[in-house]
């Protein structure tokens, strides 16, 4: 048992109270370890405000969600009316509801920017792999949380969006129909679906999210923060053992983050008070119409932060799978002719390629291209709809492997070849294009662009072990580069 620390009898009341608490609970110790005396690199720039903004929005979502739950009715017959009641009759209910809906979009804005900062500065590289993995898990859980919350207003777009997404799981071979039934709780999206989505959205998923955020922060404070130069500040310490290129988070980064929070809240308030629908992107106009299972909207699209992945889903057609099958065949032929493999290994490559072509529906695509109709089921392989689900999920899962895909000898984009910035720029451009097209009605030209964007997205990651090592790299300084403002 630790000895009690005493303070002078004439100490201020606040000091005495804090000492009383510290003798029973390590409040000051936790504050100093996690923030007050946590040394962070002194060259942080504006990209490093989005982590604290994500924490702010998380707290805001929890608080506004609690107040919305007080008046919301998770009943298919009452849900839409309860939201209208909150908007019209509950004092300041409209503000709480708009803060929650705008907060959902703001959450994804800051998370996307936070993840992009990690990508350009190599914050996922050794020894920070677990920080990145926990962060990707937070992103994945956040998507589940947003999807389940999206159904709760019980508007037309909420209902039919959930209907489309849940039905995608029915495309999974063998277990698909049972899996979709398990998620819905019924044969159609209805009261059972609304109840289980409400339970997960309010209780289960937030608990997982909070646990992952805690793990993310613990891992971060264990190995220390990365910085724009990508060098380790712990390698150079002063006589007192403190890193020479780091400063205490408080008061320096407290002020830094307060400034970022002020700018963010100014923009956030402008959206909440003047354009909470954001032209139909944050709150779709169809969602102001009560869900009608008998009337399908002309165009069904998810909310904006899902649209890049929804574009990839729609882009995965029989034609695309036929092209991928052709790529597999060409790759197998080149490996057999030029790989120097043994005869047994060549047979294995050929068999694996043939199985992949069948699974991808390549045989079906070839027969259809030859004008044959009525392709037998056993030759059709797995449906393109299923592969669309795989592509959509794979677009998120592949992020977890980024620490091992990047083989660059340096961490930060600052010291990589100049054309690497163009590679990242093309990646971001096509990601934004996919997001835009996912919100638009489908068309043949848009589908072609989405397919190109899908190839670019996956090519960026899958070819990273190759392109990340190419070019002339700049010398990395041994200590951080910093000049005062």
**Which residue ranges are tagged as binding site?**
100, 114, 201, 216, 221
Element (H, E) at 452: helix 444-462
Quote the CA–CA distance of 83 and 94 in Å, as a whole number: 9
Burial of residue 473, with CB atoms counted within 10 A of its CB: 0-12 exposed, 13-18 middle, 19 or more buried: middle
Residues annotated within a binding site for heme b: 100, 114, 201, 216
- State the Cα–Cα distance between residues 80 and 219, nearest whole angstrom: 42
Residue 471 CB contacts under 8 Å (≥ 6 apart), including other chains? 416, 417, 419, 420
Residue written as token pair 């971060």: 220
What kind and span of H or E run contains 39? strand 39-41
Q: What are phi and psi of 474, to 5 degrees?
A: -80, 150
Assess whether the previous peptide bond of 347 is cis (omega < 30° from 0).
no
- How many degrees, rounded to 5, is the angle at CA 301 between CA 298 and CA 305? 160
Known binding-site residues for a ubiquinone equal 221
Where do we find the tokens 């034609």? 319
CA atoms within 13 A on the CB side of 419: 6
Q: Cα(100)–Cα(85) distance, rounded to whole angstroms?
A: 16
| Omega before 127 within 30 of 0, i.e. cis | yes
């Amino acid at each position: 048992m630790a000895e009690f620390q005493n303070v002078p009898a004439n100490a201020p009341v606040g000091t005495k109270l804090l000492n009383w608490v510290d003798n029973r609970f390590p409040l000051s110790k936790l504050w100093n370890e996690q923030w007050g005396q946590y040394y962070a690199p002194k060259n942080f720039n504006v990209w490093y405000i989005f982590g604290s903004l994500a924490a702010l929005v998380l707290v805001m979502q929890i608080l506004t969600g609690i107040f919305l739950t007080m008046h919301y009715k998770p009943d298919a017959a009452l849900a839409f009316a309860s939201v209208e009641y909150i908007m019209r009759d509950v004092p300041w209910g409209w503000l709480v509801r708009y803060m929650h809906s705008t907060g959902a979009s703001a959450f994804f804005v800051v998370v996307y920017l936070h993840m992009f900062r990690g990508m350009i500065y190599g914050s996922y590289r050794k020894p920070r792999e677990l920080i990145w993995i926990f962060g990707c898990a937070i992103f994945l859980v956040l998507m589940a949380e947003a999807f389940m919350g999206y159904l709760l207003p019980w508007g037309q777009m909420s209902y039919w969006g959930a209907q489309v997404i849940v039905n995608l799981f029915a495309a999974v071979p063998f277990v698909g129909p049972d899996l979709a039934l398990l998620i819905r709780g019924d044969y159609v999206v209805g009261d059972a679906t609304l109840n289980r989505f409400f339970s997960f959205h309010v209780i289960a998923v937030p608990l997982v999210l909070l646990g992952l955020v805690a793990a993310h922060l613990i891992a971060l404070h264990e190995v220390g923060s990365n910085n724009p130069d990508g060098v380790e500040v712990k390698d150079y310490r002063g006589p007192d053992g403190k890193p020479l290129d780091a400063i205490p988070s408080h008061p320096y980064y407290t002020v830094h983050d307060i400034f970022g929070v002020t700018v963010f809240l100014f923009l956030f308030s402008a959206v909440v008070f003047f354009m909470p629908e954001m032209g139909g992107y944050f709150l779709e106009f169809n969602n102001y119409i009560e869900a009608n299972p008998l009337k399908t909207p002309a165009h069904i699209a998810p909310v904006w932060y899902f649209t890049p992945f929804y574009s990839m889903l729609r882009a995965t057609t029989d034609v695309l799978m036929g092209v991928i099958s052709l790529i597999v065949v060409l790759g197998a032929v080149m490996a057999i002719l030029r790989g120097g493999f043994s005869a047994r290994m060549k047979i294995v490559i050929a068999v694996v390629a043939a199985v992949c072509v069948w699974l991808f529906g390549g045989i079906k695509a070839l027969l259809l291209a030859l004008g044959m109709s009525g392709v037998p089921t056993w030759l059709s392989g797995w449906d393109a709809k299923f592969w669309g689900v795989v592509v959509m999920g794979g677009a998120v899962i592949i992020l977890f492997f980024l620490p091992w895909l990047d083989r660059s000898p340096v961490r930060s984009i600052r010291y990589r070849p100049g054309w690497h910035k163009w590679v990242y720029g093309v990646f971001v451009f096509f990601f934004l294009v996919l997001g835009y097209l996912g919100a638009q009605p489908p068309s043949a030209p848009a589908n072609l662009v989405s397919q190109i964007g899908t190839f670019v997205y996956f090519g960026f990651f899958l070819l990273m072990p190759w392109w990340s090592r190419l070019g002339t790299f700049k010398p990395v300084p041994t200590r951080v580069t910093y000049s005062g403002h």
